[in-house]
Each structure stands twice: as C-alpha cells, then as structure tokens.
Structure 1
C-alpha cells in the first residue's frame, strides 16, 4: 500500500526545497567574492615590524566605509601602471595596500 502524504507534509516539503537551494546559492556567492577580492598585504612577506605597524593602525584590506578607503587618503599612491591594482602607502614605508583598504591613520587628501 503506497504511503500517503498529508497536506501539511506536502506544504512543508515544498518550502524546504527552495530554501535549501537559496542557502546553497548564497554560500556559493560568498565563496566567489572572497576568491575575487584583491589582497595586497601578504603577511608572509612582511617583517615583524611591518606587521606590527599594520596591526597597530588596524589596517584592513576592505574599508567598512567606502568614503574612507585608502584610495582617497593623502598617504596613498596609486599603482604605477594606473590600473586598479595595489597602490602603496607612505605610512607603511611604501609597502603595498589595497585601494579599497583602510587604517586608523586615514587622512583626507588635500
């Protein structure tokens, strides 16, 4: 004898399948964003002093406020090729920084 599904079970299943698909799609999108993000500061190639300065100034590769990103800071120098690649920072002794990054020494370019 075939098993019968109640209306409640059928409705529950019809909601669970699209929700699971949405979760899987969202996780896939998060993963691709993190792979495509520009990372300029490689801790493995820095001296302990350089790492310490970045940590002290709370440098992040992506600013939480786009108006206060490195690209708009007076200490930021764009990439020599003029592209959207990593620039350098006067505060970090000319070491690479992400144009969309931020640190506590951010200053308006006058």
Structure 2
C-alpha cells in the first residue's frame, strides 16, 4: 500500500497563511464594496432614508460614528411600526430640518430610521 507524500510543516504553514490572508482580504473587499452591511450609518458624510430625507453626518468623529453603530442604527427601518420618530428617545428639535436627534447617541437621526434600543414613545 503506497501512501501519498505528506507536505512538510513549512509547506502546510505557508498554505494556511495564504488561505488566511485570502480570507481577510475578501472581508476587506466586501466591506469596501458595501457588502459589510453598514446600513446607512453615515460613514460617507450623509445618510439617506426613506422619503428623500438626508441627514448630514460629516461632522461626526469616528468615536461618535462607532457609538451609533453599537446601537445598530440604520437610516431606513424595515419595521413599519418602529421608527425613530415614534421612539421614546426621539428628539425632533435637536437638529434643524427634517432630521432629529436621539438621547442615546450623537448626531442627526433620520425620522424613518431605527436602532436596537427602540422603545415606543408615549405620544405615539
């Protein structure tokens, strides 16, 4: 019975390293192409939600953007009854224009947005 030649440890490690680098590179490419699921959190300076409402987030720092991401904030919700403008934390007068604000994180908030801390507001 003949055994196929097994690769050396060095060959195995090179292949494993190349495979790991390819996986990491693929993740970076997906993120750069929008496959990272950023959900309109405003990384590019503005976030567009439904109804043509655009909130300018260009003045936010990286830390402020991370705070928004921790709440999984998106500018356009897929939950028709759960919108920022009917949430307990919504502050309509915090920002000029159609965008409002939130008690939980900094920056302008789209009225048709959503985050994972949504709570039905008392006036809604």
Same fold (TM over 0.5): yes
Unaligned runs of 5+ in 1: 1-32
Counterpart of 2:28 in structure 1 is none
Unpaired stretches in structure 2, ≥5 consecutive residues? 1-47
Q: How many residues align?
A: 74
- Name the counterpart of 1:6: none
- CA RMSD in angstroms, aligned pairs only: 2.7
Deviations 1:39-76 (Å, cap 9, x if unpaired)? Answer: 2152x321111111111111111111121000010000
1 or 2 for the larger relative contact order (CA 8 Å, sep ≥6)? 1
CA contact (8 A) 2:95 2:108 kept: no
> Is this contact kept in 2: 1:71–1:100, CA < 8 A?
yes
State the TM-score, normalizing by the size of structure 1: 0.57
The equivalent position to 2:78 in structure 1, one of 64, 71, 77, is 64
Larger Rg: 1
Taking structure 2 as the reference length, what is the TM-score of the superposition? 0.51
Structure with the higher helix share, 1 or 2: 1
